Structure 1
């Protein structure tokens, strides 16, 4: 039986009003529209944003373009930019409770999880600041006595940053500080469902002394705001996190002007479990991987690929632990699984579960929406006897739904893991490290965890194979992603005349 934490009414709630940040000023949208955001866990309006349009997007792009071409930011030393980014990290830490609260009530994620994400975001900002001081090129003095080659790393220019609703502050933190460290300027569009913490970040950056126009933050739909951000000729690069479908559209838009594109997209991530695995550790990781952030996570471990000899035991134990997971009020510190982002998304998750059951999968736990009196919630769900060709085994459900498949040989496990369009991450569980390394080398995924799942660090690159995206975020080369390479080929002394023959 799922443990429920019923939401409490948000008594005396003051709805927070936000404007957009364009060229260093807080401003209303050009057409005066407003977006209201209801808390998915409480069913009441918690935020109001100015609804941006193409006019606002073009204003923001123009401000970023002018700030890059004519402002001081791209000409500062790495140390100067680094110091400002470090100050931003400190202020994020000071206001972390406020930021976590906004992410919690707007996205439905548990408050304890939101606070942990803010701690991770602070570390990323500090790591980006350090990389900004280490950005360097190359030199070649081996080209002959009369030639010296120097390779520079220069900021690419104006970057459009488009972020999703599932990790509002964490994902903007995987992009923006690295772009700033490289010397770029940016236009940021958070999801219109969860814009609050990103707009609060704008307040923080203004306080640090980031020059006007360097960071612009606008709110609106993809059609109104996202489209011009991906097609405008004054934008040099797009960094997008979201669905694979929208990622493909973004890439097509960018192709019109051949912009550089970084895409972090969907995932359908397997955990492959062998009979010799440490099952106590694995069972906890399986439940965490499936239900973290209510499964609304591109890295979710939504596919268990379990050796046939232990499949029944694994399903039984995962179901038993799933029954202890607390679902409900995102503001309760004990909650593990919060609210689903919208009623429409809850209905989509429910459809996947019903269709899988109709196709022959066994419903081993959960499987239904939960009526807690307000908001929208989904029971942690386990589907066993899932076949690789089923939609629930191949498509990104983006909810707390775990599909269990079985295998007999290592080759079977690899084949099943690689049989889908995604390749973001994977896990393997075995006491035999040869087995772990074989899986790690053969599974086509950007990250493979061995005897753990969904661990991370600012130093480790993140991104996917196949339709899980292009490029990598985080890691030692993250700042370089926001640069262009320029070669200076210098001739020393008089050039030898060879063309005219004189």
Structure 2
């Protein structure tokens, strides 16, 4: 697939267009209500018009997953489950070209990033296939007349409410460990970018790798379909990636039913650049924040804190890096694609304009730096003279915008870095290993990256402090968040623990 029309025809060929609202039991279920346009953000052209799952279709999706849990998947041996997940990884790789084209057009991301996302999706299933039979409990020494041990058990149906910026890899990041733990999954993808989730579900069902309805899909908006999924009594655990207000609403709904949540929310990640740092590496990291998903990434480092003695040089290098970035439709594989939608582009533009109004200066890019006749494009933009009290420094832009803040000593840098309601990730650039370790311990973030940003892969636990969320994704740690711990305490007869026979 190389054109928007070809993508639309491909989706139609799978019977996934025209009011498609859910995928359950190997069938496409349609709704009769309003449709939701899914557009190509590079042109604004509508790809398909999906439906919206109401309470009846959500019920079918959740109950389908619940039945699959009670069936062969819930009773399958862990090793067999792992072999099935490895075959899912193979399925993703076999269809990588098609899925990458689809993801690039649906999200607007450059084709090379979409290809990387598909490979990452396969790696999630490959990784969790390898640990499916290693989610161990432990034996706990207590009294000599007791045996105490723990086991990890699945929740049942886990709801995954996924975001629009990396829909396939975000789905696989949560679904793979959920399935490895023995759960089944119902997915509510973003209505903005639902296509790769739908196609993956269709491919998975046709492959026969997993029992039917181990993964079901319900489409629609958050306040309607999302709320119905989260509040369904058969959902035993919830995973959500998105904004703090939506995460708060989901946590409130979950609290009413006393079910657990994994919440990966916003970020305003700082990176401290010390005086002895490799400035070129740090400048590339500053520019990279604008590249990944056009800055629409929660973990992007969007506050570069630079020592005063290197501030001007850093700004010069970072402005050059950002000025050399190319912008265009995702399938042409530029450095940056478009933003997700027209309203989101307007929000990013207004935040940059407000920052200038508060005293920041544009050192590269800016809202009017591009001449794109169609699509939702924003130039990679570097703001200097930013103070941490400014709106741009305290709020997530979710666009290709980098802010540079000056500091004079390390204590000031740490105070600025931690002066945020977020705590998802942070970075440090220094050639002094002692300083790197010390700063890693002082930064209030769930992940700290040293001398490279971004870093990490599917094996590195990821999640936030403070308002950036609850729980951890990725790595073996995720298995602990998609399973529940049971403690078993056995009273041993006296003749047994004294070593006598009956």
In 1: Cα distance, 2:342 partner to 2:26 partner: 35
Structure 2 counterpart of 1:36: 37
The answer to whether the 8 Å contact 1:23/1:214 transfers is no
Structure 1 counterpart of 2:290: 290
Q: Is 2:183 the partner of 1:184?
A: yes
SS of residue in 1 equivalent to 2:327:
strand
1:10 CA displacement: 4.3
Could you say if the C-alpha distance between residues 214 and 133 of structure 1 is closer, same or farther in structure 2, counting changes exceeding 3 Å? same
The answer to whether the 8 Å contact 1:139/1:150 transfers is yes
In 1: Cα distance, 2:283 partner to 2:208 partner: 45
Q: Deviations over 1:340-363 (max 9, x none)?
A: 101100000011111110111111
Structure 2 counterpart of 1:254: 254
**Count of matched residue positions in the alignment of Structure 1 and Structure 2:** 486
Structure 2 counterpart of 1:274: 274
Identify unmatched segments of 5+ residues in structure 1.
1-7, 496-502
Where do residues 348-387 of structure 1 align in structure 2 (5 Å cutoff)? 348-369=347-368, 370-387=370-387
The answer to whether the 8 Å contact 1:444/1:465 transfers is yes
The answer to whether the 8 Å contact 2:31/2:51 transfers is no
In 2: Cα distance, 1:101 partner to 1:425 partner: 30
The answer to whether the 8 Å contact 1:319/1:382 transfers is yes
Structure 2 counterpart of 1:47: 48
SS of residue in 1 equivalent to 2:67:
helix
The answer to whether the 8 Å contact 1:21/1:218 transfers is yes
1:201 CA displacement: 1.4
Structure 2 counterpart of 1:243: 243
The answer to whether the 8 Å contact 1:189/1:218 transfers is yes
Q: CA RMSD in A?
A: 1.8
Q: Is 2:442 the partner of 1:449?
A: no
SS of residue in 1 equivalent to 2:332:
coil
Runs of 4+ deviating beyond 6 Å = none
Where do residues 194-233 of structure 1 align in structure 2 (5 Å cutoff)? 194-206=193-205, 207-233=207-233
In 1: Cα distance, 2:3 partner to 2:97 partner: 20
The answer to whether the 8 Å contact 1:33/1:52 transfers is no
Structure 1 counterpart of 2:104: 104
1:122 CA displacement: 1.2
Could you say if the C-alpha distance between residues 266 and 28 of structure 1 is closer, same or farther in structure 2, counting changes exceeding 3 Å? same
Structure 2 counterpart of 1:131: 131
SS of residue in 2 equivalent to 1:256:
helix
Structure 2 counterpart of 1:332: 332
Could you say if the C-alpha distance between residues 13 and 88 of structure 1 is closer, same or farther in structure 2, counting changes exceeding 3 Å? closer
1:42 CA displacement: 2.0
In 1: Cα distance, 2:25 partner to 2:86 partner: 20
1:24 CA displacement: 2.1
Q: Deviations over 1:128-147 (max 9, x none)?
A: 11111112212246532x42
Structure 2 counterpart of 1:499: none
The answer to whether the 8 Å contact 2:53/2:225 transfers is yes
1:12 CA displacement: 6.1
The answer to whether the 8 Å contact 1:9/1:42 transfers is no
SS of residue in 2 equivalent to 1:42:
coil
SS of residue in 2 equivalent to 1:118:
helix
Structure 2 counterpart of 1:113: 113
In 1: Cα distance, 2:299 partner to 2:457 partner: 14
* Higher mean displacement: 206-215 or 221-230: 206-215
The answer to whether the 8 Å contact 2:26/2:202 transfers is no
Structure 1 counterpart of 2:392: 392
* Higher mean displacement: 470-479 or 49-58: 49-58
Structure 2 counterpart of 1:500: none
Q: Deviations over 1:98-154 (max 9, x none)?
A: 11111111111111111011112211110011111112212246532x422221111
In 1: Cα distance, 2:466 partner to 2:116 partner: 30
In 1: Cα distance, 2:218 partner to 2:102 partner: 17
Identify unmatched segments of 5+ residues in structure 2.
496-502
Could you say if the C-alpha distance between residues 80 and 437 of structure 1 is closer, same or farther in structure 2, counting changes exceeding 3 Å? same
The answer to whether the 8 Å contact 2:460/2:474 transfers is yes
SS of residue in 1 equivalent to 2:30:
coil
The answer to whether the 8 Å contact 2:21/2:31 transfers is no
The answer to whether the 8 Å contact 1:290/1:301 transfers is no
SS of residue in 1 equivalent to 2:191:
coil
Q: Deviations over 1:224-281 (max 9, x none)?
A: 2110122222211000000111111110111101111100010001111111111122
In 1: Cα distance, 2:8 partner to 2:492 partner: 68
**Under a length normalisation based on structure 1, what TM-score does the superposition of the two structures give?**
0.93
1:208 CA displacement: 3.7
The answer to whether the 8 Å contact 1:311/1:406 transfers is yes
SS of residue in 2 equivalent to 1:172:
helix
The answer to whether the 8 Å contact 1:22/1:59 transfers is no
Structure 1 counterpart of 2:66: 65
Where do residues 159-174 of structure 1 align in structure 2 (5 Å cutoff)? 159-174=158-173
Structure 2 counterpart of 1:314: 314
In 2: Cα distance, 1:208 partner to 1:477 partner: 29
Could you say if the C-alpha distance between residues 414 and 294 of structure 1 is closer, same or farther in structure 2, counting changes exceeding 3 Å? same
1:22 CA displacement: 4.2
In 2: Cα distance, 1:459 partner to 1:331 partner: 29
In 2: Cα distance, 1:309 partner to 1:475 partner: 39
1:54 CA displacement: 2.1
**Under a length normalisation based on structure 2, what TM-score does the superposition of the two structures give?**
0.93
